[in-house]
């Protein structure tokens, strides 16, 4: 399994924030901007409001794994930035997956017909 294409530079994140559209839920915000690269690049940000580094890294791992599972079902050529929001209780793998699927479907990036 190869690594997912990722956004790394601050200017790439800023471009998606300023020019892209977004959708939000209780745990996550997903920003989307079309690109001309014929692939989907993903960036994940988790604020210090989430908690200590252990909590932030866990949230990043949960998001990254859910994206990895959904990557084959994503359609189009986009830059995605996924921002974790502060929550009252720690998020579970299933909760993050459910919200991520909902937001990607809402932004019309998820092909419901494709299954793994």
Which residues face 78 on adjacent strands?
34
- Does residue 44 register a pLDDT over 80? yes
For 61-82, how does the pLDDT look when each residue is reduced to its tens digit (9 = 90+)?
Answer: 999 999 999 999 999 999 999 9
Q: What is the DSSP string of 22-81?
A: EEE-SSEEEEEEE-SSSS-EEEEEE-GGG-SHHHHHHHHHHHHHHHHHHGGGB-S-EEEE
**103, two tokens:** 């937001």
Residue 33: inside a domain:
yes
DSSP 3-state of 7? coil
- Check residue 87 and give its pLDDT: 84
**16, two tokens:** 């998606």
Q: Which domain holds residue 68?
A: 10-106
- Check residue 54 and give its pLDDT: 94
Residue 17: inside a domain:
yes
Q: What is the pTM of this model?
A: 0.91
- Check residue 115 and give its pLDDT: 60
Strand order in the sheet with 78-84: 21-24, 28-34, 78-84, 41-46
- Check residue 114 and give its pLDDT: 65
In CATH, what number is assigned to the domain containing residue 77? Answer: 3.30.230.10
Residue 72: inside a domain:
yes
Residue 88: inside a domain:
yes
The pLDDT-based confidence of 116 (bands split at 50, 70, 90) is low
Q: Are 79 and 7 in contact (CB under 8 A)?
A: yes
Residue 3: inside a domain:
no
Residue 1: inside a domain:
no
Residue 99: inside a domain:
yes
Residue 116: inside a domain:
no
- Check residue 1 and give its pLDDT: 55
Number of domains in the chain: 1
């Amino acid at each position: 399994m190869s690594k997912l294409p990722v956004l790394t530079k601050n200017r790439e994140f800023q471009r998606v924030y300023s020019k892209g559209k977004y959708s939000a839920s209780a745990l996550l915000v997903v920003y989307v901007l079309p690109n001309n690269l014929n692939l989907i690049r993903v960036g994940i940000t988790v604020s210090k409001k989430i908690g200590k580094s252990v909590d932030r890294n866990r949230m990043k791992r949960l998001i990254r794994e859910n994206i990895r599972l959904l990557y084959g079902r994503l359609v189009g050529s986009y830059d995605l930035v996924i921002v974790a929001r502060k929550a009252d209780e720690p998020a579970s793998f299933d909760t993050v997956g459910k919200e991520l699927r909902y937001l990607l479907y809402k932004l019309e990036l998820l092909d419901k017909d494709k299954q793994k």
